[in-house]
Chains A and B, each alone.
Chain A
Amino acid sequence: MIDIRSVTKVFGFGQGAFRALDEVSVTIRENEFFTLLGPSGCGKTTLLRLIAGFEGPTEGQILLGGEDLSGQPPYRRPVNTVFQSYALFPHMTVAENVGFGLKMLGRSKAEIDGTVSEMLDLVRMSHLANRQTGQISGG
């Protein structure tokens, strides 16, 4: 469960300050498919970046399963973000891109290879596993 408690995010300070989020409170239950809709610049991405940990909230708390996430760096948060511009690693193959998270978690090579080929099979991309990301279409 993600619990967002009156989160405020202000970028900049003084005259140039911009309030991107103002006392936002949301509760997202486990397995819930939750969609944020809104016009451009209304703070959807800011909220996601706060949950991922790329930015810290100016005020308020974000709780995951009852635990306060503030102060936790992104790599210690068990949440994952799909980036707006894909964010594929250009110097790695498709397989290396898919297996990156597992590799960072220190899983064995056999386990990574198994999971990667399983996942690529699932989306019918096994034949592209050894291509560089620049050599495949954006899909």
Chain B
Amino acid sequence: MAKAFDVTRQPGFTAVAIACFVMLYLPIVLLVAYSFNAGQSISQWEGFSFRWYVSAWDNEQIQAATIRSVVIALGASIIATSAAVLAALATTRTTPWKGQTVAFALINQPLMVPEIVTAVSLLIFFSMIKVWTGYTGLWYLVIAHSAFCIPFAYMPIRARLQGMDLSLEQAGADLYGTPVKVFRTITLPQLWPGILAGAMLAFVISLDDVVITEFVKSAGQDTLPTYMLGQLRRNITPEINAISTALLAISVLLVTAFFFMSRTRK
């Protein structure tokens, strides 16, 4: 007897799903596994050891690059998130104005313009400023990262603002709250999860950027990803695997922490 036809059953779905998961995660599993390799190779297993974690931890270049990465990511996520909050308010909490579509496109420009184009234009622009001012510090990287992190911070904040009941803010105004007071006592407390999500996203995006950093950085300003890229050109050791695994663990921890935070706050 034929089975009853069930529209919710997709033949072959399980096989496709498994194939996708294997393709997505097998390389990562291998990367993590070989970070514990005792030998010099990233593809020949010679026994279990933590030696590459120890060597990465003691490597002064890696230490400097990590600190630089974190400083840039912190600075960029603070600037980008502040700008994104203002942009999100201007695009959701005002009466529709002429040019709003253009403004929206401009805010999200880094998502549409190819990264390499942004990188080259920033390289040229910053080198002009460098000639005028003589300043060669980290701020170029912080500003460049802030620019392309804005849309990533903007998206969750705008989504949160759109999901919030506008009548609460109107009720606040009706009860004699000035715009500033209403923002502080009603909008901001409800917006926090969105702001945190935006800031974390911006932080992670900044942390693993390669293309723009590679173009904008001056000599001796390697971030962790550009340092790793530089190492690949010389000799590849499981040290690279160890750094990657540590980065992976940190981002998984961040995402998990955020998941639980946003769940309890809601």
Minimum distance in angstroms from B173 CB to a CB of chain A: 4
B175, B177, B181, B190: the one contacting A90 at CB < 8 Å is B190
B30 is an interface residue with CB less than 8 A from chain A: no
Q: Across chains A and B, which 9 residue pairs bring their CB atoms closest together, nearest first? A: A101-B175, A87-B171, A74-B173, A104-B176, A104-B177, A87-B167, A91-B189, A75-B176, A75-B173
**Residue in B168, B170, B181 whose beta carbon sits within 8 Å of that of A74 in the complex:** B170
B165 at the interface (CB under 8 A from A): yes
Q: Is the CB of B171 within 8 A of A83?
A: yes
Contact of B190 with A80 in the complex, beta carbons under 8 Å? no
Number of interface residues, chain A, beta carbon within 8 A: 21
Binary per-residue interface labels of chain A (105-121) against chain B in the complex, 1 for a CB within 8 Å, 0 otherwise: 10000000000000000
Residue of A nearest to B189 (CB): A91
Interfacial chain A residues near B190, Cβ < 8 Å: 90-91
CA distance A80 to B167 in the complex (A): 13
Contacts of B186 in A (CB 8 A): 89
B178 lies within 8 A of chain A by Cβ = yes
Chain B interface residue count, Cβ-Cβ cutoff 8 angstroms: 19
Q: Please tell me if the beta carbons of B172 and A80 are within 8 angstroms of each other in the complex.
A: no
Q: Are A100 and B167 in contact (CB under 8 A)?
A: no
Best-surrounded residue of A79, A87, A100 (most CB of chain B within 10 A)? A87
Which residues of A in the span 76-133 have a Cβ within 8 Å of any Cβ on B? 76, 79-81, 83, 85, 87, 89-91, 100-101, 103-105
Question: A41 to nearest B CB, angstroms?
Answer: 18
B174: interface (CB < 8 Å):
yes
Taking a contact as CB atoms under 8 Å apart, the answer to whether B189 and A100 are in contact is: no
Considering the complex, give the chain A residue whose CB is closest to the CB of B178: A75
Cross-chain contact B170 with A54 (CB below 8 angstroms) = yes
Nearest chain-B residue to A76 (Cβ)?
B176
Chain A contacts for B172, CB-based, 8 A: 89, 100, 104
The answer to whether B181 touches A104, judged by C-beta atoms less than 8 angstroms apart, is yes
Contact for A83 among B167, B181, B185, CB less than 8 A: B167
B170 A101 Cβ-Cβ under 8 A:
no
